[in-house]
Amino acid sequence: MIHFKLRSAAAAAASAFALVAAPVPVQAQTSPMAVTVNVQTDKTAPVIDKNIYGQFAEHLGRGIYEGVWVGEKSRIPNTRGYRNDVLAALRELKVPVVRWPGGCFADEYAWRDGIGPRSQRPVRVNTHWGGVTESNEFGTHEFLNFAEMIGAEAYVAGNMGSGSPREMAEWMEYMTADSQSTLANERRRNGRDKPWKVKFFGVGNESWGCGGNMRAEYSADLHRRYQTFVKVPRGVPLVKVATGANVDDYNFTNVLMERARGQMDALSIHYYTFPGSWESKGPATGFAEDKWVSTLKNALRMDELVTRHKAIMDRHDPQKRVSLFVDEWGTWYDQEPGSVPGFLYQQNTLRDAHVAALSLNIFHRHTDRVRMSNIAQMVNVLQAMILTDKERMLLTPTYHVFHMYQPFQGATPLAATVSGPQYRHGETFLPSVDVSAARDASGRLHLALVNLDPNRPAQVTTSISGVTPRAASGRVLTGPALDTHNTFDRPNTIQPVAFSGRVEGDRLVFDLPAKSVAVVAVD
């Protein structure tokens, strides 16, 4: 979990996959904006890795306990301790990968605390998140079984901050060994005969902060040392992830790539979006338009950060072997009044849906490096997919965006440009419409359209080179207020509804509502 102060930086350079908007300020009116989208089907990029739609579940607040795990004796319907409603919702979302157990929690985590009979596991204090007790009831077996149950790959974050290389190496052996070693047999005695598949392993977390307050040079040296002892059986694939930069600390990326690129398969960065300052982020609901626009402006900064970190990586690794993982991102507001301090529980609104859509669109434009991202966090923490209240559960607007965007997993991104008026609020100018286009494995074309302007609908005229469209249909997500959200009493206040475009000659025309996210398939 990240701690930082937002800093300014230069704007990112435009590329073939960047969006272009004419610098025309919006007038105060409600008539539709005329927006033109051009999709170039002959300009493609590497496929959108499905892991860009990854999740993050840290031992924080009610993210694990109550959010995922309630125990076999709970009155909440469950399967072997996992709550059934959350399992079903995550399966429906087709979650590709889950990162666990942290975040900051990972660098104080002793993996042996979370194995063996639950009644005998030690109780610790979660010093990072609320100072509450950690029962260790949810440990290695519970997480890896959970990942299998929802059909996701496991991304395990190791303890480089306070643990030893031997601890890290033995944890990996315990999880993946198919031998008759003492550790493999201990796993069998604890109930798991077959080794798990752990495809991704993080060698530490936020080493520049809660993971050890290290200098970049020291972090690079420690990564080289620790990863040496992280081994899996011959022929078993493993992606070793180095803990990377805090937001725009480009020197950290440069040093890690210069000194340790040969000992890593991926490098991480973390970035959180909020409307105010780190010290005063603002509420998740009840905000005015100035907080809407500042949040979306900060979300769009993700493109600059990825572009500049990529450029550094390109200098050291022109073959693009090392992936860039944005393995913590999302919105961060003041936690909900009345919730437990340090639990980071916040409501999730139409604004968060826009942040999710804009961020995913940005990742689609950088598939040459960005091969995983992990939104923070999956349940009950920060920009969650799902919120629970004891036996009740609801799906958030962010969940609905991830569900709508499923066709982009594994699709080939296509270059797209946008021209039209900008959205202006005060002295802030943003693109009025953002778009992502891609062709899936079956050859079908999909468009994601985001109207950032909360006041004006857009008439989006779309031309697709080499394609004469017959129809386009899908779903749109919007609501009457900037902070439209679901509650436990009204869990379906905001959800996607049917949406389609019309054909005019060889073009598609979409009547895109104000403050909306739409995804359509083109026939």
pLDDT tens for 471-480 read 999 999 999 9
Angle between helix 216-228 and helix 165-176 axes, rounded to 10 deg: 40
> What Cα–Cα distance (Å) separates residue 330 from each residue in 68, 243, 350, 352?
20, 18, 14, 8
pLDDT-derived band at 37, boundaries 50, 70, 90: very high
Q: Where are the alpha helices (DSSP H) in 111-249?
A: 140-150, 165-176, 182-189, 216-228
pLDDT surpassing 90 at residue 23: no
Please name every residue paired with 200 in a beta bridge, in sequence order, or none if there are none: 155, 239
pLDDT tens for 186-220 read 999 999 999 999 999 999 999 999 999 999 999 99
pLDDT tens for 44-88 read 999 999 999 999 999 999 999 999 999 999 999 999 999 999 999
Contact 244, 217 (CB under 8 A): no
**Mean predicted confidence (pLDDT) in 107-119:** 97
Return the half-sphere exposure (C-beta side, CA atoms, 13 A cut-off) of residue 98: 28
pLDDT tens for 157-174 read 999 999 999 999 999 999
> What Cα–Cα distance (Å) separates residue 262 from each residue in 160, 265, 300, 371?
19, 8, 31, 18
Active site residue 391: no
- The rounded distance, in Å, linking the Cα atoms of 277 and 235 is 48
Helix (H, G, I), strand (E, B) or coil at 290: helix
Instruction: Produce one character per residue of 146-182: b if its CB has 16 or more CB atoms within 10 Å, e if not.
Output: bbeebebbbbbbbbbbebebebbbbbbbbbbbeeeee
**Scanning the structure block, which residue is given the tokens 């950690």?**
134
Q: Which residue from 475, 489, 430, 492 is spatially nearest to 455, judged by alpha carbons?
A: 430
User: Percentage of the chain surpassing pLDDT 90?
Assistant: 93
Q: Where are the alpha helices (DSSP H) in 177-288?
A: 182-189, 216-228, 250-260
Query: How far separated are the first and last CA of the chain, in Å rounded?
Result: 42
pLDDT tens for 343-379 read 999 999 999 999 999 999 999 999 999 999 999 999 9
**Mean predicted confidence (pLDDT) in 387-392:** 97
Give the per-residue pLDDT at 10: 31
Active-site hit among 328, 391, 427, 504: 328
Is omega for the bond preceding 202 within 30 degrees of 0, making it cis? no
Domains of the chain: 33-46+413-522 (2.60.40.1180), 50-408 (3.20.20.80)
The per-residue pLDDT of the chain, averaged, comes to 94
Whether the model pTM is above 0.75: yes
pLDDT surpassing 80 at residue 18: no
pLDDT surpassing 60 at residue 2: no
**Three-class SS string for 46-103?**
CCCCHHHHEEECCCCCCCCECCCECCCCCCCCEECCEEHHHHHHHHHHCCCEEEECCC
Active-site hit among 142, 206, 217, 279: 206
pLDDT tens for 261-314 read 999 999 999 999 999 888 889 999 999 999 999 999 999 999 999 999 999 999
Is omega for the bond preceding 377 within 30 degrees of 0, making it cis? yes
Active site residue 66: no
pLDDT tens for 484-520 read 999 999 999 999 999 999 999 999 999 999 999 999 9
Return the half-sphere exposure (C-beta side, CA atoms, 13 A cut-off) of residue 315: 12
- For the chain, helix (H) and strand (E) counts, in that order, are 9, 25
pLDDT surpassing 80 at residue 3: no
pLDDT-derived band at 30, boundaries 50, 70, 90: confident
Report the 10 Å Cβ neighbour count for 493.
15
Structure tokens at 22: 């004419």
